[in-house]
Structure 1
Amino acid sequence: MEKIKRCRKCGARLLEHEKRCPVCGTPVGLDKEVDIIKEEQIIEPEKVDEFIAADKTEQTLLKSNESAQNYWRSKKIWAVFIVLIVVTTVMRQYVINNPIKLAENDNSNTITNDYSDSKISINKNTGKYSQATNINYLGISYVNDNAVYLMMNSELLKYDRSFNNRELVLEQAVTVFSEDEQWYYYLDENNDYIRMDKKTKAEDILLKNVYYVHNLGDKVYYQNDSDGETIHCLELETNQDHKISDEVSYSIVVDEEKGRIFYINKNNELVSIALDGSDKKNLANNTNVYTYDGEYLYYINNDGLVKSDLEGQSKVIYESNNLSLVNLVEKKLVIQDKNIIYTMDLDGKDKKKLYTMDIGGSLTFEVVGDKLLVLTKGNSDSVIGYEIVGLDGKRHILDDENQPTIKGNEF
């Protein structure tokens, strides 16, 4: 064996005393990790070509290793690597917080059997403007801190918030029900507004032949049918009644904080007036269905669902000529488009199918706390189906036992 020293750069053979490579001029011995010192046999002449090929392969591998080491020593590479880690972490958290919503087939029922007849609870009271919308179009439910009241089968029933227990409150068809510590309030089948003592069951007729009754605690706003369908206000403490507007008025909503009353007139115009009837503003035309969230009005016309501020500046947020009802569950709009119920955000985006009726018939809904009460009726049926439906698609069938026959005026 003979020890051979070679140049770390070009691989030329070096003598022991040489300080620089005679071929490329590279200093010898400055980097002991790179200079090559190896034991070699004296190469026979006929094997010189094989040796040169093997030596070149070894030099290539050494250069590759050196390049790899220099690659990971680069500050730019480490900077890019760290940025990729940060971006990946942020994107992963975004996907977790904002899962992709699958597109839904409008021809299929998106409520799966896994959600049918689920255990369900009412977790919040119905919003005051959602309840006002209920009263204007159906008005068969009432929610307070202790109970859920529903009018079913011409009976007013009281449920706990989980629908585990119920009791009969009134054995008659009533709407616009509410209560305080001493009294029940409701509109009877003759459209008389009644106050009943809870203990004695004695009844007082507060108002006769009235519609769109909104009991705000100390005041009751309503449409007086006997006075040209105009808006009146009854002071409960003093029993004083005064007329607010001379115009025919339907679907009343009162915002005492902003001092405004909204209604639909006989020309299908959405109108706003002050609490004393002054400062009249026509906000929209060609509508008879709307709701309100305290800041914006949402009404239905031939174009679809329109969002309007209180000065009448508006835009269409959902296009359809088949809408029949709109209401609000917290920060979500709920609309009925033919026999399908959709939810969407307050700008008409993030639309999701919540409920559909596959068979022929009709449906409607009312907001009950943070859920919906959905009423369905097939074309050939004599019964109404009642379901509590959450915005997550879970639903619970209410029965008496199960689907009561039509005796009242629910539709």
Structure 2
Amino acid sequence: MTHDDLMAHCKTTPYWWDNAQRPSLPDAVLPATVDVLVIGAGYTGLHAALQTARGGRSTLVVDAEEAGWGCSTRNGGQISTSIKPGFDQLAKRHGEERAFGILREGQQSLAWIAEFVRSEGIDCDFGQVGRFHAAHNAAQYEALAAKLTKQPKGLEVRAHVVPRAEQRRELGSDGYWGGVVYEQHCSVHPARYHQGLLERALAAGVQVAPRCPASAIDKQGAQFCVTTARGVVLARDVVIATNGYTGNLTPWLQRRVIPIGSYMIATDPLPEGLMDRLIPKNRIVSDTRKVVFYYRASPDRRRILFGGRVSHQETNPRVSGPKLHADMATIFPELAEVPISHSWCGFVAYTFDELMHLGKHEGMHYAMGYCGAGVGTSSYFGMRIGQQVLGLKEGQTALNGLAFETRPLYSGNPWFLAPSIGYYRLRDRLPI
């Protein structure tokens, strides 16, 4: 299939937006003063705002783009326990007690978002479908299987091994060496989830100001003076919820998160019955590559939604789309001639220790750095930051107080990503 055929009718907006149109909020006059001003109208910011508004604080959320324009409506709609380092690695850094607490926070985030969606009645195709985490070589399969037998007491998760000989029960591909099913992982329509969250924030009295970038934050006595595109607002508390879009408004935070482009495509509708062979149990799927692929069926099971890290510098979805399509076709050869209907990208935020961070710096609250697994944790830790603003004891987490690392000479421009991705792509080809 030629490039032109592949991309003939391809949109460069997220597939999710087709049936969850972005909200059209008015350019309302901003209040002169508020109790809480949140910068960022994605999952983190809206969950923090929902807590503070329901706690009786006047709350304003500003965003440089439309509400939810960033990765909150551009992600793959996959939800896990989201803590990347394992217990041994965390215990070496922080001690066993803190390591246990950090991993428990990840597990709690998964349970919490499921209960939030249920209790709030948000219609967003949420389901506990389980994740098939596929081993891209034999050594990785053995490592996955061994890890399941060594789960720390009190941190056990429901999971089972799928050997290569039985792989097609989970995935219609011979491109892996087996894997593990994590039974409690979930899927969601990310844009419909965001819309439901936004509606509940607005109903709670939160004022949301899209297309209203903040350009400066200064301290004025006991308050913060925040300069925005629509005027200056005084706020008692400020929450920074910008994650992969953190910029020079907050240079201290900008030096501590690494923006990484994450790219996705959606296929044209598949022939009848094909999805039942490719993803028969409706699992979400990821693999053990360092330059990871992640994919799933669309909620209506008519399309494959396929994502990955194509490169650092390429942000043109018309270029990244065919690259992802080629990767997808190596896993599912049946899709080699299926055109792309959507190709899009967004920015996630990694950190140097592969942990999300939340806390307070120079009086401002923040939560960010979800390392590409933020649907559940950005919601959960956004909620916790909102509780911290309210001074509630339950807002404290095992991640509070951790050193938020940076590196010498790093100012927010990840010049090292292109060679790093090249190195890891090479490493993924090795049998290790």
TM-score (norm 2): 0.23
More strand by share: 1
More helix by share: 2
TM-score (norm 1): 0.24
Higher relative contact order (CA 8 A, sep 6+): 2
